[in-house]
Structure 1
């Protein structure tokens, strides 16, 4: 069984490529949904973001016609843009929930508003490049009543740079012979690395809840 698992992990491209060809256009819908949920719904902050953009673009370079980078870029762009906007709207309406008013005092809310009035633009724009954190920034922006037009401008710029940079690097990466010959190993390695922060945070909260620290 272990040998079968190791074979599967080291030959992922043999399974991924036929799967992508079989699903066809549904692949783009699935990718859109994952990026949208990761950016638009805080409960899905654990989902892959830039790693998905990067490796989907890498796979597009390897597969050629099965995945089109010209379609992937707008799919990722609009998924992230719409997701952030939805997240902002959720944050802007959180004050209606009694639970929200219980944990966020008027003083804390005032400080958050003052912060976003001064640093909101760069926070929204550059926060997009920080895993996990980027999912909460639009929510907090909405809760702090950051100007909507200002949020949209900086969010659009941040998403545009994030998608173009991730897609370009991934597509270039996928054209390298070394990557094409070792794609499965590289994909698994990056996948393991990407979940390390989430595991560390979970362990920290587990230890803290058990009052070891």
Structure 2
């Protein structure tokens, strides 16, 4: 547990990221978090925000272009592709190993409670859940796996997968890019990242809670 917390602390440090793989490390983390079972604890939202900050920093402008905005578009495209591929992998895993996903007991890498949350979310939202799930930690890891296990139409899955990736990556990375050079933001990064997670998850969670209450009153 301590090792996991320490790893998360490093992943939320822009300087550490740039010294240990740079934005290529972010690509790997995004792929793992959005479709590989063991990646449910990874911080996708903060990483995208920090990546936007890194790209906006003149002293740390990542290649391949000499100007910031072309680099922003380049890396957002790669981030989106990484998370799209992650979802495709998760869909394939769920379809191929549905007997494992649907089992009633826990395994060392698969917890029933995580699967159940993603399953309920998928049942309520259908295909749109694949897009919305990008903004929900843990759910974004298991939603494509559930879609594969339930045999969701692949074309439908692909559409919402690509749509969700573009919206998620584009909005949060761009936000980090715009706010990244503000000194107050850089000096209070921990609070900004916490607020970001609450901001992107609160609307969806509130809507789900109110919908559940409405259903219970019927």
Taking structure 2 as the reference length, the TM-score comes to 0.65
Distance in structure 2 (CA, Å) of the matches to 1:190 and 1:69: 20
Q: What residue number does 2:54 align with?
A: 59
Cα pair distance change 1:120/1:38, threshold 3 Å: same
Q: CA deviation at 1:126?
A: 1.2
The answer on whether the counterparts of 1:45 and 1:132 sit within 8 Å (CA) in structure 2 is yes
1:83-122 to 2 correspondences below 5 Å:
83-97=86-100, 100-101=102-103, 119-122=125-128
Q: What residue number does 2:85 align with?
A: 82
Q: Specify the SS of the correspondent of 1:46.
A: coil
Q: CA deviation at 1:194?
A: 8.0
The answer on whether the counterparts of 1:120 and 1:146 sit within 8 Å (CA) in structure 2 is no
Q: What residue number does 2:74 align with?
A: 71
1:1-150 to 2 correspondences below 5 Å:
16=15, 20=18, 26-63=21-58, 66-67=61-62, 68-97=71-100, 100-101=102-103, 119-150=125-156
Cα pair distance change 1:102/1:176, threshold 3 Å: closer
Taking structure 1 as the reference length, the TM-score comes to 0.66
Q: CA deviation at 1:28?
A: 2.8
Q: CA deviation at 1:192?
A: 6.3
Q: What residue number does 2:189 align with?
A: 187
Structure with larger Rg: 1
Q: Specify the SS of the correspondent of 1:40.
A: coil
Distance in structure 2 (CA, Å) of the matches to 1:194 and 1:47: 15
Q: CA deviation at 1:147?
A: 0.3
Distance in structure 1 (CA, Å) of the matches to 2:184 and 2:196: 21
Distance in structure 1 (CA, Å) of the matches to 2:59 and 2:135: 28
Q: Specify the SS of the correspondent of 1:128.
A: helix
Distance in structure 2 (CA, Å) of the matches to 1:175 and 1:165: 17
Structure holding more helix per residue: 1
In structure 2, runs of 5+ residues without a counterpart are: 1-9, 63-70, 106-118, 199-218
How many residues are paired up? 167
In structure 1, runs of 5+ residues without a counterpart are: 1-8, 104-111, 197-213
